[in-house]
Amino acid sequence: MQLSKSMLKALNEQVTHEFYAAHLYLSMSAHFESSNLPGFARWMQLQSKEENGHAMKIYKYIHERNDRVTLDAIDKPPTEFKKPLDVMKQALEHEKKVSGLINNLYEMAVKEKDYPTQVMLQWFITEQVEEEKTASDIIELLKQVGDAPAGLIMLDRQLGARAGE
């Protein structure tokens, strides 16, 4: 059974949003690399890879439903950032935006009685709770560290130890 035209369009748009998120995190990673914070940079690189995986999860789902993915242009992410706290706040805001988009997709799937899409989106809903929590936790740690260089270095090392790749 194929997706409705409106659901297919919305899922294709979400693929673009997920690829944008991957680009945004990669841009943040480049900022941290140039700021001599390799742990933050690695964390953002892994985050970028994860977002790319999210796009591909929806991509594959569309094909499983015997429909076609249509890729759209990805907006250029910002390239200039401020302090690590500001960057992480921006990351959290982006995750909240993505959560809203996923919730809207879920509502559409419920309205259309598209049960397979509801099941697929449940994974994303759970994932977004985790994404927002992780970003919030890092923000709280950055607030505790303040402007203390030693604390920032320790947090950089902690973030650099994130499993992945």
Instruction: State yes or no: pLDDT of 165 exceeds 70.
Output: no
pLDDT category, 162, cuts 50, 70, 90?
A: confident
C-beta of residue 109 within 8 angstroms of C-beta of residue 121:
yes
Instruction: State yes or no: pLDDT of 164 exceeds 90.
Output: no
Query: What's the pLDDT tens digit per position in 117-150?
Result: 999 999 999 999 999 999 999 999 999 999 899 9
pLDDT category, 4, cuts 50, 70, 90?
A: very high
7-26: average pLDDT: 98
Own/partner contacts of 29-33, CB < 8 Å, gap of 24 or more, are: 30/79, 31/79, 31/80, 31/81, 31/87, 32/84, 32/87
Quote the CA–CA distance of 102 and 121 in Å, as a whole number: 7
Q: What is the pLDDT of residue 155?
A: 95
Residue 99 to residues 67, 84, 96, Cα–Cα distance (Å): 24, 22, 5
Domain 5-160 -> CATH class: mainly alpha
CA dihedral of 82, 34, 146, 162, whole degrees rounded to 10: 120
Which alpha helices (DSSP H) does the chain contain, by range?
Answer: 5-34, 38-64, 84-111, 115-145, 149-160
Q: What is the pLDDT of residue 68?
A: 95
Q: What is the pLDDT of residue 24?
A: 98
> What pTM does this model have?
0.94
Query: What's the pLDDT tens digit per position in 65-115?
Result: 999 999 999 999 999 999 999 999 999 999 999 999 999 999 999 999 999
Rg of the chain's alpha carbons, rounded to an integer? 17
Contacts of 1 (CB under 8 A, 6+ apart): 65, 66, 116
Residue 113 to residues 37, 60, 84, 110, 117, Cα–Cα distance (Å): 47, 21, 43, 5, 9
Q: What is the pLDDT of residue 1?
A: 76
